[in-house]
């Protein structure tokens, strides 16, 4: 029965907006997790009526993304002892709002994702402002792109950025599509930070790697903290600053790890005195 439930859940969890041409791939079950029954209680922090999802935070701070289907049972618990009815009639997703305290019975279909079978609204607007999800802006380098997500290297960690149907993309200070992203682009991401994941509300391309200067070569000489000579087809002066990312694999490494004769790829912009490095990839 659990296997059947997992197959049914995977077939039904198709995103409303496509990140890639293959729309049959679900962003809800792309991590290989085995679906299993789960019960949680928490506060609704956001409701996305277009995607039929909501964000719920438990009292211990753990956050979940909850999918509400047309057949999900939603009932309101009646705390009025003078009322003969135990529950209010079944309601729809449009009856929910941020601040409602809710109990959820459903299937866990991925990392911090739940397919809701039953929602019991225990109280309404009891906890507004208590467990609001943090909205922050992070700056990092795109090192991998997949269906409806991409891997972002920050100065202190590596995270998966989840692209939602409502995520806005900006490039050259104008609205853009997800295709504006490219490997080794520097981006700013605003959204709900879950630690190892960020649910993106907006992604702004600060430096499009494909539109700048790309240099491949070996280090000929270093002058910390200002720059280095890169031996490509010719000797090029490459400068770097504290905002320059030095990437090896899918992690940030100290600038001091760049040693003479190291093989590098430099993504940057032309300056009068040489190339300003935005991203240095150590090979």
Residuewise pLDDT in 10s, the chain (283 residues): 444 444 334 433 333 333 433 333 334 443 434 458 999 999 888 887 777 888 898 888 888 889 888 888 888 876 444 444 444 444 567 777 888 889 999 998 777 889 999 998 877 654 433 334 445 789 999 999 998 899 999 998 999 999 988 888 999 888 999 998 999 999 999 988 888 889 898 999 999 988 889 999 888 877 666 777 777 667 888 888 888 999 998 899 988 778 888 899 999 998 777 888 999 999 8
Task: Kindly report whether the global pTM for this prediction surpasses the value 0.85.
Answer: no
What is the extent of the structural domain holding 6? 2-123
Sign of CA dihedral 242, 234, 267, 274: positive
Best CA proximity match to 275, nearest among 215, 220, 224: 215
Does residue 35 lie in a domain region?
Answer: yes
- How many domains does one find in the chain? 3
The predicted structure's pLDDT at residue 124 = 64
Residue 67 · residue 116 · CB < 8 Å: yes
Residue in 180, 174, 61, 35 with CA at minimum distance from that of residue 114: 35
Structural contact between residues 165 and 199, judged by C-beta atoms closer than 8 angstroms: no
Domain of 10: which CATH number? 2.40.50.320
Are residue 20 and residue 102 in the same domain, yes or no? yes
Determine contact, residues 100/121, Cβ cutoff 8 Å: yes
Q: Is 128 domain-assigned?
A: no
Asked if residue 142 and residue 116 are part of one domain, the reply reads: no
22, 55, 136 from 202: Cα distances, Å: 23, 17, 11
Contact assessment for residue 238 and residue 230, using Cβ atoms and an 8 Å cutoff:
yes
Q: Domain check: are 179 and 220 in the same one?
A: no
> Is residue 51 located within the same domain as residue 89?
yes
The answer to whether residues 11 and 113 belong to one domain is yes
For residue 186, give the nearest of 124, 131, 136, 142 by alpha carbon: 142
Among the three residues 78, 98, 123, which one is the final residue of a domain in this structure? Answer: 123
CA distance 112 to 133: 14
């Amino acid at each position: 029965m659990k296997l059947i439930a997992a197959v049914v859940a995977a077939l039904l969890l198709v995103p409303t907006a496509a990140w890639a041409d293959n729309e049959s791939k679900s962003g809800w079950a792309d991590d290989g997790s085995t679906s299993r029954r789960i019960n949680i209680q928490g506060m609704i922090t956001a409701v996305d009526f277009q995607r039929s999802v909501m964000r719920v935070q438990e009292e211990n701070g753990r956050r979940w993304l909850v999918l509400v289907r047309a057949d999900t049972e939603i009932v309101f618990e009646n705390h009025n002892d003078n009322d003969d009815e135990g529950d209010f009639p079944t309601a729809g997703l449009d009856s929910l709002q941020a601040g409602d305290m809710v109990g959820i019975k459903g299937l866990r279909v991925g990392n911090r994702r739940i397919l809701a079978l039953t929602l019991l609204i225990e109280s309404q607007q009891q906890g507004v402002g208590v467990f609001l999800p943090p909205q922050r802006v992070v700056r990092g380098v795109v090192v991998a792109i997949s269906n409806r997500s991409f891997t972002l290297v920050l100065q202190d960690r590596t995270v998966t950025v989840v692209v939602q149907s409502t995520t806005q993309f900006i490039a050259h200070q104008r609205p853009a599509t997800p295709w504006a992203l490219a490997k080794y682009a520097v981006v700013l991401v605003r959204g709900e930070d879950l630690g190892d994941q960020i649910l993106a509300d907006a992604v702004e391309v600060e430096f499009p790697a494909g539109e700048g200067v790309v240099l491949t070569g070996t280090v000929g000489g270093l002058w910390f903290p200002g720059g280095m000579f890169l031996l490509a087809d010719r000797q090029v002066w490459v400068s770097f600053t504290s905002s320059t990312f030095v990437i090896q694999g899918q992690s940030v490494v100290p600038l001091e790890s760049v040693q003479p004769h190291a093989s590098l790829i430099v993504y940057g912009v032309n300056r009068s005195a040489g190339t300003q490095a935005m991203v240095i990839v150590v090979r």
